[in-house]
Amino acid sequence: MAILILNATTKTIVAALSGAITTTNPVFTAAFADNDGSTFTESASDGALNGVTSVTLVSAPAASTQRVIKSITIQNADTAAVTVTLSYNNNATLRTIVKVTLAVGDTWTTDGTFDTNGSLKQTLGTVNLSTGVTGTLAVANGGTGVTTSTGTGNVVLSTSPTFTTPALGTPASGNLSSCTADGTNSVGFLIIPQNSQSAAYTLVLADAGKHILHPSTDANARTFTIPANSSVAYTIGTAITFINMTSQVVTIAITTDTMYLSSAGTTGSRSLAQYGSATAVKMTSTTWLISGSGLT
């Protein structure tokens, strides 16, 4: 704190509390020296505050004398925190020097506030990090160390972080869709799901990887048709199986694309006899290869 000087007989240093004490008023000391132009005289004062009533800590100097204040201390001797206002009193006009709240046992001095252990108490300021801050704050100093970023989410603040694999478990229900095994090929089935048809039927995209069953309960000839790629674009490599359990022939037809009979290489519709099984595999966008037993 800068040196305080009282240079008139109307000037003093006073202090008062903001509220009533609990048990004991704070106590004070003051050290000062008078300079009358020829002599420097050291002096001091001490005492106790008086609640909200103003108490003079350093009185006014004599005429033609400057009183140089060297130090002031105020110690909270109460059993609860107190707020003290120290003022420069110039002929009843008060100028606040400091207003401070002292914890139990704290001592305010012209050099700072000290706790009961004699340690200087400091108040840390705050910085608004959303404005007026530039540069990169290192991880060691509590920052991220990131200079640029995109997207959202949390930043991993370590060069060698330890990741914990989540226990995903098995879903209780629901369908897995829009997923691939390797990022390219569609996920297939662990079984060959069945689509039973007892009428003429044109396959749909959802039939990929399934078997189309002509059940024994339908004693009628039926035609099962593979649609053109232009209407149903099965992925290349799609396999579809046909099974006929009746004495009536099932015709496996194709709309406008080409279906080759395995080994023979002939094209066109195929006939599937009773207990016959045949599988058609899509080779290109407009060609299929069909093979099986009971197939002509």
Return the CATH fold of 194-295: Jelly Rolls (2.60.120)
Q: Predicted confidence band at 200 (pLDDT cuts at 50, 70, 90)? A: very high
Which positions ≥6 away from 35 have C-beta within 8 Å? 41, 65, 66, 67, 68
Give the pLDDT mean for 105-128: 88
The whole-number pLDDT of residue 110 equals 92
Answer yes or no: are the C-beta atoms of 77 and 24 closer than 8 Å.
yes
Q: Give the tens place of pLDDT for each residue, 219-273.
A: 999 999 999 999 999 999 999 999 999 999 999 999 999 999 999 999 999 999 9
DSSP assignment string, the chain? -PPEEE-STTEEEEEEESS--SS---EEEEEEEEE-SS-EEEEEEEEE-BTTB-EEEEPPPPTT-EEEEEEEEEE--SSS-EEEEEEEEETTEEEEEEEEEE-TT-EEETTEEE-TTSPBP-------TTSS--S---GGGTS---S---S-S-----SSPPPPPP-----SS----S-BSSSSSBP--SS--EEE-SS-EE--GGGTT-EEEE-TT--S-EEEEEPPTTTS-PPTT-EEEEEE-SSSPEEEEESSSEEEETTT--BS-EEEEEEEEEEEEEEETTEEEEEEEEE-
What residue has token string 């509590």?
Answer: 142
Whether 181 shows a pLDDT value over 60: the answer reads no
Give pLDDT, residue 57. 97
Answer whether residue 183 shows pLDDT above 60: no
Can you tell me the mean pLDDT for 42-47? Answer: 97
* Predicted confidence (pLDDT) at residue 188 exceeds the cutoff of 80: no
- For the chain, the structural domain boundaries read 4-114, 194-295
